[in-house]
Copies of this chain bind each other. A is one copy, B any other.
Amino acid sequence: MIGHGFMGAAHSQGWRTAPRFFDLPAEPVMQLIVGRTGIEASADKLGWPETATDWREAIARDDIDIIDIVTPGDSHAEIAIAALEAGKHVLCEKPLANTAEEADAMASAAERAAAKGVFAMTGFTYRRVPATALARDMVAAGKVGAIHSVRASYLQDWLTDPEAPYTWRSQKELAGSGALGDIGAHAIDLAQFVTGMRLASVSGTIETITKKRPIPGKPGEYGDVTVDDLALFSGRFENGVLAQFEASRFSTGRKNALRLEVSGDRGAIAFDLEDLNFLEYYDATAPVEQQGFTRIMVTEPQHPYVAAWWPAGHMLGYEHGFSNQVRDFVTGIVESVQPTPSFADGAQVQHVLSAIESSSSNGSAWTVIDQ
Does A207 interact with chain B (Cβ within 8 Å)?
yes
The answer to whether A160 and B134 have CB atoms under 8 Å apart is no
Instruction: Contact check, A291 vs B296: say whether CB atoms are below 8 A apart.
Output: yes
CA distance A261 to B17 in the complex (A): 35
| In the complex, chain B residues whose CB is within 8 Å of the CB of A313 | 156, 254-257, 274
Report the copy number of this chain in the oligomer.
4
- Do residues B363 and A148 form an inter-chain contact, with CB atoms below 8 A? no
Which residues of the other chain, B, contact A45 by a CB distance below 8 angstroms? 20
State whether A294 and B290 are in contact (beta carbons under 8 Å apart), knowing that A205-B234, A364-B234 are contacts in the complex: yes
Which residues of chain A in 162-195 are interfacial with respect to chain B, using CB atoms and an 8 Å cutoff?
162
Known contacts A294-B290, A300-B289; decide if A318 and B316 are in contact (CB<8 Å).
yes
Q: Is residue A157 within 8 Å, beta carbon to beta carbon, of the partner chain?
A: yes
Residues on the B chain within 8 Å of A16, using CB? 16-17, 20
- Judge if A25 is at the interface, Cβ distance under 8 Å: no
Alpha-carbon separation in the docked complex, A248 to B150 (Å)? 11
Cα(A263)–Cα(B317), bound, Å: 27
B244 touches A160 (CB 8 A): no
Take A232-B234, A320-B317 as given contacts and tell me if A149 and B250 are in contact as well, using a CB distance cutoff of 8 Å.
yes
Asked if A251 is at the interface of the complex by the 8 Å CB criterion, the answer is: yes
- Which one of A54-62, A101-109, A276-284 is at the B interface? A276-284
Q: Count of A residues near B, CB < 8 Å?
A: 86
Q: Report the Cα distance A6→B265, complex, angstroms.
A: 26
A118 to chain B, nearest CB (A): 29
Q: Are B312 and A255 in contact (CB-based, < 8 A)?
A: yes
Residues of B contacting A205 in the complex (Cβ-Cβ under 8 angstroms): 203, 234, 242, 366
Q: Which residues of B contact A157 (CB under 8 A)?
A: 263, 284
Name A242-287 residues within 8 Å CB distance of B. 242, 244, 246, 248, 250-257, 261, 263-265, 267-268, 273-274, 276, 278, 281-284
Residues of B within 8 A of A282 (CB): 252-253
Pair B302/A160 contact, Cβ less than 8 Å: no
A47 at the interface (CB under 8 A from B): yes
Kindly state whether residue A49 has any CB partner on chain B within 8 Å: no
Say yes or no: A256-B203 contact (C-beta < 8 A), given A289-B303, A293-B295, A295-B293: no
Contacts of A230 in B (CB 8 A): 148-149, 242
Question: Across the two chains, which residue of chain B brings its CB closest to A279?
Answer: B292
Please state if B12 and A246 are interface contacts (CB–CB under 8 Å).
no
In the assembled complex, A29 has its CB within 8 A of some CB on chain B = no
Quick check: B151 and A246 within 8 Å, CB to CB?
A: yes
Give bound CA distance, A109 to B310, whole Å.
33
5 cross-chain pairs, A with B, having the tightest CB-CB distances, nearest first = A255-B313, A256-B313, A317-B317, A253-B282, A252-B268
> Can you report 22 A-B residue pairs in the complex whose CB atoms are below 8 A from each other?
A6-B311, A10-B310, A138-B290, A148-B230, A151-B251, A156-B313, A157-B284, A160-B284, A207-B242, A230-B242, A244-B246, A252-B268, A252-B284, A253-B268, A253-B284, A255-B297, A256-B315, A276-B315, A278-B292, A292-B294, A292-B297, A317-B319
Extra contacts besides A144-B252, A255-B297 (10): CB < 8 Å: A16-B20, A148-B160, A161-B265, A203-B205, A232-B244, A276-B315, A291-B296, A291-B300, A316-B317, A364-B366
